[in-house]
């Protein structure tokens, strides 16, 4: 019952991840269930999507993939046209179009799932010891049974007398007594008590919201000394959260800085640009964290932009004079990729690093 309940719960969890997939058919974008995707369908991928099929990248707009489920590496992998993508990976930045080359049971994720679902009994020392006792007991009972049967036959007058008389007179009583004696030697309660102990432990763990797939798992859990967990996505979300916005203290680094070196107030220009970075639905998680605190997007379109790339670790946008305070070229990225002493000067660069690590 416990194993059946675990299977039902796991099936319900799996169904939660079967979202519709957007594909291009006859020039139109159509949402379809994952089971209806066929080979050569063009799948539309955006940030946050999980790749449902194996395929080849046709178009990449800063497409970065998280292949941690496949390789164990958390670093984003940039994809360009012609690169292969595997089902089970996820889009962490950018967007793209992928032509399906393997779907359904032929996909990489399906093969991994089938391999993982292949049944293999959990190694249980208690169950192994019980089977070992039963095996040796069976071997030992063979001569014991012979001795007991011979003794019972002797007790009723010997083999000749027992076989010559009617069955109910001597043979049946001797055989019944032999079976009763042998049965009492078999530890029938051993298997029953082991099963009951596993069941009681599984029920107690179930009350604490622990999912037990096989009853012997409670024995394995009792022998565990150290538990190592990957908490990302379970205990933690693995996301990025905006903390604060601080202007550089050096006048060389920002036109808004004060002469006394104190941090300046951040004007409307940087706030509008940060809002633009966060408004794009396909941005990386860092820019997506700007979506909630900054909402005043510039009313004009940028004159140029550079999509985020994991290799560069920065993105950029340029606005014309009509954007007002947001006019100019703006870069957003990792401090170590943008802070250059040749551009800011050693003092300003050190000041920025100090603020970043504060």
- What pLDDT is attached to residue 194? 79
Token code pair at residue 298: 């510039």
The 3-state secondary structure of 207-236 reads: HCCCCCCCCCHHHHHHCCCCCCCCCECCCE
C-alpha–C-alpha distance, residues 142 and 135, integer Å: 12
Band the pLDDT of 231: cuts 50, 70, 90: low
Which domains are present in the chain?
19-106 (2.70.150.10), 125-191 (no CATH), 268-356 (no CATH)
Please list the active-site residues.
Answer: 230
For residue range 288-333, list pLDDT tens digits in order: 888 888 888 888 888 888 877 766 778 888 998 888 888 888 888 8
Does the structure show a pLDDT above 90 at 98? yes
Please write the tens of the pLDDT for every residue from 29-78.
988 888 888 898 999 998 778 888 899 999 988 788 888 777 777 777 88
The stretch 126-144 carries a mean pLDDT of 84
Backbone angles phi, psi at 317, to 5 degrees: -150, 145
pLDDT at 83: 92
Among 344, 322, 321, CA closest to 331: 344
CA distance 318 to 321: 10
């Amino acid at each position: 019952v416990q194993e059946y309940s675990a299977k039902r719960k796991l099936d319900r969890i799996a169904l939660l991840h079967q979202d519709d997939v957007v594909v291009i058919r006859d020039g139109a974008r159509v949402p379809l269930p994952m089971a209806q995707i066929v080979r050569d369908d063009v799948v539309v991928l955006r940030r946050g999507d999980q790749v449902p099929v194996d395929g080849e990248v046709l178009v990449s707009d800063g497409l970065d993939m998280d292949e941690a489920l496949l390789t164990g590496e958390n670093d984003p992998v940039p994809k360009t046209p012609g690169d292969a993508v595997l089902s089970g990976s996820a889009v962490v930045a950018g967007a793209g179009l992928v032509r399906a080359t393997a779907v359904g049971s032929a996909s990489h994720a399906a093969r991994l799932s089938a391999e993982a679902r292949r049944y293999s009994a959990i190694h249980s020392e208690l169950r192994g010891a019980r089977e070992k006792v039963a095996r040796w007991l069976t071997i030992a009972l063979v001569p014991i049974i012979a001795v007991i049967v011979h003794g019972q036959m002797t007790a009723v007058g010997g083999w000749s007398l027992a076989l010559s008389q009617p069955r109910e007179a001597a043979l049946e009583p001797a055989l019944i007594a032999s079976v009763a004696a042998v049965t009492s030697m078999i530890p029938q309660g051993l298997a029953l008590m082991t099963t009951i102990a596993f069941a009681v432990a599984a029920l107690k763990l179930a009350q604490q919201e622990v999912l037990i797939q096989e009853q012997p798992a409670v024995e394995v859990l009792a022998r565990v000394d150290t538990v190592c967990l990957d908490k990302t996505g379970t205990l933690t979300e693995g996301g990025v959260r905006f903390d604060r916005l601080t202007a550089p203290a050096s006048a060389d680094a920002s036109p808004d800085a004060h002469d006394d070196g104190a941090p300046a107030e951040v004007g409307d220009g940087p706030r509008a640009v940060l809002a633009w970075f966060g408004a794009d639905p396909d941005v990386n998680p860092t820019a997506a964290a700007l979506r909630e605190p900054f909402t005043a997007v510039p009313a004009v379109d940028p004159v140029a932009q550079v999509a985020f790339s994991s290799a560069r670790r920065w993105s950029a946008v340029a606005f014309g004079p009509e954007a007002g305070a947001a006019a100019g070229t703006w870069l957003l990225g990792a401090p170590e990729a943008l802070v250059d002493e040749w551009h800011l000067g050693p003092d300003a660069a050190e000041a920025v690093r100090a603020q970043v690590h504060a």
